A and B are shown apart, each in its own frame.
Chain A
């Protein structure tokens, strides 16, 4: 089964700083990759997803992620974070031929105003 690891447990940034959250997965076949965000007290929301094609994926709110197949990575980036980006970010992977999606442990992002 697939698994996901997120390198950072808690990241603290000042507003306007650049963000990169690491995500690595392990799976022997083709994968679909996702980043979800969970704002305090709210449910999971899809930020962006990768299925095929251009490995640089753009999502909502200025986020993007790059799929690097050789590194089994799908890192999330944002050039300039805002206070409102304070949330928990989850990387998730699903093997192409199955239906269950596995989540990383999450990275808590705190943006200081």
Chain B
């Protein structure tokens, strides 16, 4: 069964550093998403991406965040200057077409120290 792959599984970074979280969506999917889950809290939508541009974003997705699809397979989330409160599990998901349930990756646990 096709999977969404995320790397790394765990990243530790110092406050103020930039991090890039990587995702390889399912190959024939057209819609891509990032969600995050702070420990003990609910899963929060960050951003959706379609046709090489952001289609929706939440209030969480401020100027420190950006997404990119640098080639035909990867979908990245960049956090420019990490803060302690960015520590969370970040999930990538993809879907096609957008009416169907998403397929989620295993997540990247980001720890900002």
Chain A residues packing against B (C-beta within 8 Å)? 32, 34, 36, 42-46, 49, 51, 90, 92, 98-106
Contact = CB atoms under 8 A, between A and B. Distances in A.
Interface in B41-97: 41-45, 48, 50, 55-56, 58, 91
Dominant secondary structure of chain A at its interface with chain B? strand
Given A44-B104, A45-B104, A99 B98 contact: yes
B105 A43 contact: yes
Contacts of B101: 34, 46, 49
Question: Which 7 A-B residue pairings sit nearest by Cβ, starting from the closest?
Answer: A103-B43, A105-B42, A43-B106, A44-B104, A99-B48, A100-B56, A46-B101
B96 to A, nearest CB: 12
A6 B64 CA distance: 31
Dominant secondary structure of chain B at its interface with chain A? strand
A101 to B, nearest CB: 6
A43 B31 CA distance: 19
A81 B33 CA distance: 32
23 contacts: A34-B101, A36-B104, A42-B106, A43-B104, A43-B105, A44-B43, A44-B104, A45-B104, A46-B102, A46-B103, A49-B100, A92-B43, A99-B31, A99-B33, A99-B56, A99-B98, A100-B45, A101-B45, A102-B45, A103-B35, A103-B43, A104-B42, A105-B42
Contacts of A102: 45
A51 B105 CA distance: 23
A103 B45 CA distance: 8
